[in-house]
Chain A
Amino acid sequence: MIMLRKLLLVTFMFMFVAQSLAAQVYLTRNGTIRFFSEAPLENIEAVNRQVNSALNVENGEFVFRLPMRSFSFEKALMQEHFNDNFVESHKYPNASFQGEIPDMDVLDLTSGEEIDVVVQGELTIKDVTKPIRETGTLRMEDDTIHGKAVFIVKPEAYNIRIPNRYTRNIASEIEVSVDVTLSPQ
């Protein structure tokens, strides 16, 4: 009987812990990441609406994961070349970011204002992981947290080889825009 009560207590404890963990995580599975390449001959834009992201508001830990194949382009042939030749999504299906918002504990999201934040961590594309540190904004609205950031990624740094003949078609610096609406888990 005592054993049973002990077991129950422990179980309750774990449920309580699980509950508190869930409450502090904000998550989305349909965030948006766009990229934009500006080159003399053409501008190329692609959008991915299957971005997964989670933010732990307790300690500021912030992660992203997105399937590369879900970038859609204006021209289908570009999409094929992007997946097949440039990012090789058959070999490297996902890109990810694992990092944090270091100031999370001093941020006051409850004001509903847009707050500038620093996000730092490791960005992984094509199995190449690089430290990045970028600025973005967070805004809390009702129950959800909106996160936005714009930063530059150099394809070359992530082993994305662009043949010389494309230098007038594809920029060497790609502008990446992140837009996520995270809901409590």
Chain B
Amino acid sequence: MCRIFTIAMIALSGFMTPSLAAQELMDMLDDQEEETTYAVNTFFTTRVINGQSVENPYPGDLLFIVSHHFGRLNQGAYELWGLDQATIRLGFEYGVSERLALSVGRSSYEKTFDGFVKYKLLRQKSGARNAPVSVSLFSGAYLKSLRWPEGSDFEFKHRMSYVHQLLIARQFSRQVSLQLTPAWVHRNLVPAVDDPNDFFVLGLGGRWRFSDWAGISLEYFHRFHEPESYETHNSFSIGVDLDTGGHVFQLHFTNSQPMFEPGFLTDTRGDFLDGDIYFGFHIKRTFSLR
């Protein structure tokens, strides 16, 4: 009895040997380590609309950014709803490393030069290692180069403003990303004695990506301090992002005329609900230098 069983086993194993199915062969490839997947394309580009996003240029990539805000829509037909006027900013952003980006730019608004660093502190990831959000630190310096009025005794330091922001973003799905942006703006010079030099602002931005190559963005900045001597508003913008591969086009409507941080965070003069709305766009071209 025992012997019959053994023979049966041998016969059976003889049958089994050559019939190692392709599927079994495939299974032999399966024991792979779980990898870490980083969130990509939380936003299409380095800005949500006017404000910064958690995205950086890739290392070795140079972005050339042309930004344009036309005049206010509510100026009517004579000004072609604002298209007769324009404020521009030209900027470069460079990805130094996986985490660090540097930028310089120049705006026609108050002839402002700007420079900033953006550093990725944390990247949203899943898999072997996990992080629910991406966090970046942003620090910028701004120089208003507009000539002083004749006979004034302002110094160089009065030209400067500074902005520090924490960018906290989460990609909830491929479609939906949200970003919280606490910001601190310091202006060395303000128009009146009673106006604060420091402003705290909280930004909320979001993107809904309705196709692989396009999305709708919203952005709102709430100020916790306001100047006394002149009227400003919270910045609100809505826009469309179109990614064409090498270029990203961002078309938007906003009540902020300036396109640099202290400008739109604390010096938004337009009232969105009164029709003080500027149509504008950013065009980004990526050059790979490496």
Contact = CB atoms under 8 A, between A and B. Distances in A.
B26 A165 contact: no
Given A76-B61, A77-B61, A85-B212, A14 B22 contact: no
Interface in B1-55: 2, 5-6, 9-10, 13, 16-23, 25-26, 28-30, 32, 35, 37, 40-41
Given A10-B9, A77-B286, A169-B245, A17 B17 contact: yes
B28 A27 contact: yes
B246 interface: yes
B18 A59 contact: yes
A16 interface: yes
B210 interface: no
Nearest to A73: B288
B184 interface: no
A96 B244 contact: no
Given A6-B2, A59-B18, A98 B23 contact: yes
B29 A77 contact: no
Contact of B13 (A14, A58, A75, A169): A14
A25 B13 contact: no
A98 B22 CA distance: 7
A61 B21 contact: yes
A13 B9 contact: yes
A52 B244 CA distance: 34
Interface in B267-290: 286, 288
B40 A80 contact: yes
Interface residues of B, number: 36
Contact of A69 (B16, B18, B37): B37
B76 to A, nearest CB: 36
B29 A17 contact: no
A165 to B, nearest CB: 6
Interface string B197-213: 00000000000000011
B64 interface: no
Interface in A77-91: 77, 80-81, 83-85, 90
A63 B245 contact: no
Given A17-B17, A54-B28, A166-B245, A61 B22 contact: yes
Contact of A96 (B26, B35, B58): B26
B27 to A, nearest CB: 9
A74 interface: yes
Contacts of B22: 61-63, 98-100, 121
B94 to A, nearest CB: 13
Given A61-B22, A84-B41, A75 B288 contact: yes
29 contacts: A6-B2, A6-B5, A14-B13, A25-B20, A27-B29, A29-B29, A52-B29, A52-B32, A54-B29, A58-B17, A58-B18, A58-B20, A59-B19, A59-B20, A61-B21, A61-B22, A62-B25, A67-B32, A75-B61, A75-B288, A76-B288, A77-B246, A80-B41, A84-B41, A85-B212, A85-B213, A98-B23, A163-B213, A166-B245
Interface of B: 2, 5-6, 9-10, 13, 16-23, 25-26, 28-30, 32, 35, 37, 40-41, 58-61, 174, 212-213, 244-246, 286, 288
Given A9-B6, A52-B32, 7 more contacts: A29-B29, A29-B32, A61-B21, A69-B35, A76-B288, A77-B58, A77-B245
Interface of A: 2, 5-6, 9-10, 13-14, 16-17, 20-21, 24-25, 27, 29, 52-54, 56, 58-59, 61-63, 65, 67, 69, 74-77, 80-81, 83-85, 90, 96, 98-100, 121, 163, 165-166, 169, 185
